[in-house]
Homo-oligomer: A and B are copies of this chain.
Amino acid sequence: HNTPVKNHTYSNRGMSLEEELNETNAYYTEHSIACIHKKPVPIQIVKVDYPQRSAAVIKEAYFKQPSTTDYNGVYKGRYIDFEAKETQNKTSFPLQNIHPHQIQHIKQVLAHDGIAFFIIKFAHHDETYFLKGQDIVQFWTRHEEGGRKSITKQEIELCGHRIQSGLHPRIDYIRILDMLYFS
Protein backbone atom coordinates (compact mmCIF):
# COMPACT_ATOMS: atom_id res chain seq x y z
CA HIS A 1 0.00 0.00 0.00
CA ASN A 2 0.97 3.65 -0.35
CA THR A 3 3.37 5.36 1.97
CA PRO A 4 1.34 7.50 4.33
CA VAL A 5 1.82 11.24 4.41
CA LYS A 6 4.44 11.69 7.11
CA ASN A 7 3.29 14.89 8.68
CA HIS A 8 2.02 14.61 12.14
CA THR A 9 0.25 17.95 12.04
CA TYR A 10 -2.53 15.87 10.43
CA SER A 11 -3.18 13.96 13.60
CA ASN A 12 -4.67 14.83 16.91
CA ARG A 13 -7.43 17.07 15.62
CA GLY A 14 -9.53 16.15 18.57
CA MET A 15 -9.64 12.47 17.57
CA SER A 16 -9.21 9.84 20.21
CA LEU A 17 -6.78 7.01 19.59
CA GLU A 18 -9.77 4.69 19.22
CA GLU A 19 -11.29 6.88 16.49
CA GLU A 20 -7.96 7.09 14.71
CA LEU A 21 -7.58 3.30 14.81
CA ASN A 22 -11.13 2.73 13.63
CA GLU A 23 -10.44 4.99 10.64
CA THR A 24 -7.16 3.19 10.03
CA ASN A 25 -8.85 -0.22 10.10
CA ALA A 26 -11.60 1.02 7.78
CA TYR A 27 -8.84 2.17 5.41
CA TYR A 28 -7.19 -1.26 5.57
CA THR A 29 -10.51 -2.96 4.85
CA GLU A 30 -11.41 -0.66 1.93
CA HIS A 31 -7.99 -1.09 0.36
CA SER A 32 -7.95 -4.87 0.97
CA ILE A 33 -4.81 -4.55 3.07
CA ALA A 34 -6.02 -6.34 6.21
CA CYS A 35 -9.19 -7.34 8.01
CA ILE A 36 -8.93 -6.04 11.57
CA HIS A 37 -11.82 -4.85 13.74
CA LYS A 38 -12.51 -3.45 17.15
CA LYS A 39 -14.36 -5.94 19.31
CA PRO A 40 -17.64 -4.75 20.78
CA VAL A 41 -17.48 -3.61 24.40
CA PRO A 42 -18.56 -6.49 26.65
CA ILE A 43 -21.86 -5.79 28.39
CA GLN A 44 -23.73 -7.68 31.08
CA ILE A 45 -27.39 -7.39 30.13
CA VAL A 46 -29.83 -7.53 33.05
CA LYS A 47 -33.18 -6.34 31.71
CA VAL A 48 -34.63 -6.22 28.21
CA ASP A 49 -38.05 -4.93 27.14
CA TYR A 50 -39.71 -6.32 24.06
CA PRO A 51 -42.21 -3.66 23.01
CA GLN A 52 -44.78 -4.74 20.45
CA ARG A 53 -43.98 -3.76 16.88
CA SER A 54 -40.57 -2.33 17.71
CA ALA A 55 -37.04 -3.35 18.51
CA ALA A 56 -36.01 -4.88 21.85
CA VAL A 57 -34.77 -2.24 24.31
CA ILE A 58 -32.07 -2.98 26.85
CA LYS A 59 -33.23 -1.24 30.04
CA GLU A 60 -30.52 -2.29 32.46
CA ALA A 61 -26.98 -3.38 31.68
CA TYR A 62 -23.45 -2.96 33.02
CA PHE A 63 -20.00 -2.67 31.51
CA LYS A 64 -17.98 -5.84 32.05
CA GLN A 65 -14.25 -5.96 32.59
CA PRO A 66 -12.72 -6.81 29.21
CA SER A 67 -11.14 -10.28 29.33
CA THR A 68 -9.25 -9.89 26.09
CA THR A 69 -7.97 -6.95 24.04
CA ASP A 70 -9.54 -4.23 21.91
CA TYR A 71 -8.76 -5.29 18.36
CA ASN A 72 -8.13 -8.44 16.40
CA GLY A 73 -8.12 -9.74 12.88
CA VAL A 74 -6.04 -11.14 10.08
CA TYR A 75 -3.10 -9.86 8.03
CA LYS A 76 -1.33 -12.08 5.50
CA GLY A 77 -2.88 -15.15 7.14
CA ARG A 78 -1.48 -14.37 10.59
CA TYR A 79 -3.62 -13.67 13.63
CA ILE A 80 -3.25 -10.05 14.79
CA ASP A 81 -4.30 -8.97 18.29
CA PHE A 82 -3.73 -5.68 20.02
CA GLU A 83 -4.73 -3.34 22.76
CA ALA A 84 -4.78 0.44 22.32
CA LYS A 85 -4.03 2.73 25.24
CA GLU A 86 -3.84 6.48 25.47
CA THR A 87 -2.14 8.20 28.37
CA GLN A 88 -2.05 11.83 29.49
CA ASN A 89 1.13 11.03 31.40
CA LYS A 90 4.16 12.82 29.94
CA THR A 91 7.05 10.62 30.99
CA SER A 92 5.74 7.09 31.47
CA PHE A 93 2.94 4.65 30.76
CA PRO A 94 1.36 3.45 34.04
CA LEU A 95 0.83 -0.32 34.10
CA GLN A 96 -2.37 0.12 36.10
CA ASN A 97 -3.93 0.96 32.71
CA ILE A 98 -3.65 -2.73 31.87
CA HIS A 99 -5.92 -5.44 33.31
CA PRO A 100 -4.18 -8.67 34.39
CA HIS A 101 -6.63 -10.53 32.11
CA GLN A 102 -5.23 -8.69 29.17
CA ILE A 103 -1.68 -9.80 29.97
CA GLN A 104 -2.97 -13.35 30.27
CA HIS A 105 -4.60 -13.02 26.90
CA ILE A 106 -1.45 -11.56 25.28
CA LYS A 107 0.56 -14.51 26.64
CA GLN A 108 -1.94 -16.99 25.20
CA VAL A 109 -1.92 -15.33 21.79
CA LEU A 110 1.88 -15.43 21.74
CA ALA A 111 1.86 -19.09 22.83
CA HIS A 112 -0.24 -19.90 19.76
CA ASP A 113 2.09 -17.96 17.49
CA GLY A 114 -0.24 -15.01 17.01
CA ILE A 115 1.07 -11.47 16.68
CA ALA A 116 0.21 -9.49 19.81
CA PHE A 117 1.13 -5.91 20.61
CA PHE A 118 0.09 -2.65 22.22
CA ILE A 119 -0.40 0.70 20.57
CA ILE A 120 0.38 3.38 23.14
CA LYS A 121 -0.31 7.05 22.55
CA PHE A 122 1.25 9.79 24.63
CA ALA A 123 -1.49 12.35 24.11
CA HIS A 124 0.51 15.31 25.41
CA HIS A 125 3.37 14.68 22.98
CA ASP A 126 1.03 13.42 20.25
CA GLU A 127 3.33 10.43 19.81
CA THR A 128 2.14 6.91 19.17
CA TYR A 129 4.24 3.79 19.67
CA PHE A 130 4.03 0.13 18.76
CA LEU A 131 5.22 -2.18 21.54
CA LYS A 132 5.49 -5.95 21.03
CA GLY A 133 3.44 -8.20 23.31
CA GLN A 134 6.66 -9.87 24.47
CA ASP A 135 7.95 -6.52 25.72
CA ILE A 136 4.71 -5.66 27.52
CA VAL A 137 4.85 -9.05 29.25
CA GLN A 138 8.46 -8.35 30.32
CA PHE A 139 7.61 -4.95 31.80
CA TRP A 140 4.60 -6.47 33.54
CA THR A 141 6.80 -9.21 35.01
CA ARG A 142 9.31 -6.62 36.20
CA HIS A 143 6.49 -4.92 38.08
CA GLU A 144 5.23 -8.26 39.52
CA GLU A 145 8.73 -8.93 40.77
CA GLY A 146 8.78 -5.66 42.67
CA GLY A 147 9.99 -3.32 39.95
CA ARG A 148 8.50 -0.06 38.78
CA LYS A 149 4.75 0.32 38.23
CA SER A 150 5.18 1.91 34.83
CA ILE A 151 7.12 1.77 31.59
CA THR A 152 9.11 4.94 31.06
CA LYS A 153 8.58 6.81 27.82
CA GLN A 154 12.28 6.38 27.16
CA GLU A 155 11.95 2.59 27.47
CA ILE A 156 9.06 2.67 25.03
CA GLU A 157 11.14 4.76 22.63
CA LEU A 158 13.96 2.23 22.88
CA CYS A 159 12.00 -1.06 22.81
CA GLY A 160 9.06 0.11 20.73
CA HIS A 161 8.60 1.66 17.33
CA ARG A 162 7.18 5.09 16.70
CA ILE A 163 4.19 5.05 14.38
CA GLN A 164 4.11 8.19 12.28
CA SER A 165 0.74 9.86 12.00
CA GLY A 166 -0.66 10.26 8.53
CA LEU A 167 -3.88 11.24 6.89
CA HIS A 168 -4.76 7.98 5.12
CA PRO A 169 -4.33 5.85 7.11
CA ARG A 170 -3.92 7.82 10.31
CA ILE A 171 -1.92 5.28 12.29
CA ASP A 172 -0.25 2.95 9.84
CA TYR A 173 0.70 0.16 12.21
CA ILE A 174 0.79 -2.38 9.36
CA ARG A 175 4.09 -0.79 8.24
CA ILE A 176 5.55 -1.81 11.59
CA LEU A 177 4.13 -5.34 11.22
CA ASP A 178 5.70 -5.59 7.76
CA MET A 179 9.06 -4.58 9.12
CA LEU A 180 8.97 -6.83 12.19
CA TYR A 181 7.17 -9.96 10.99
CA PHE A 182 6.96 -10.04 7.21
CA SER A 183 10.34 -9.07 5.81
Query: Which A residues have a C-beta under 8 Å from some C-beta of B?
Result: 29, 32, 34-35, 37, 39-43, 55-63, 67-68, 72-81, 105, 108-109, 111-114
Contacts and interface: CB of A to CB of B under 8 A. Distances in A.
Contacts of A29: 108
- Smallest CB-CB A-B distances: 7 pairs: A77-B113, A74-B79, A74-B114, A58-B61, A40-B42, A79-B79, A40-B40
Given A57-B62, A77-B114, 12 more contacts: A35-B109, A37-B68, A40-B40, A41-B43, A43-B61, A55-B63, A57-B61, A58-B60, A61-B61, A74-B81, A74-B109, A74-B114
A107 B76 CA distance: 14
A77 B76 CA distance: 11
Number of copies: 2
A75 B35 contact: no
Contacts of A72: 72-73
B79 A73 contact: yes
Contact of A113 (B56, B76, B112): B76
Contacts of A34: 112
A57 B57 contact: no
B37 A40 contact: no
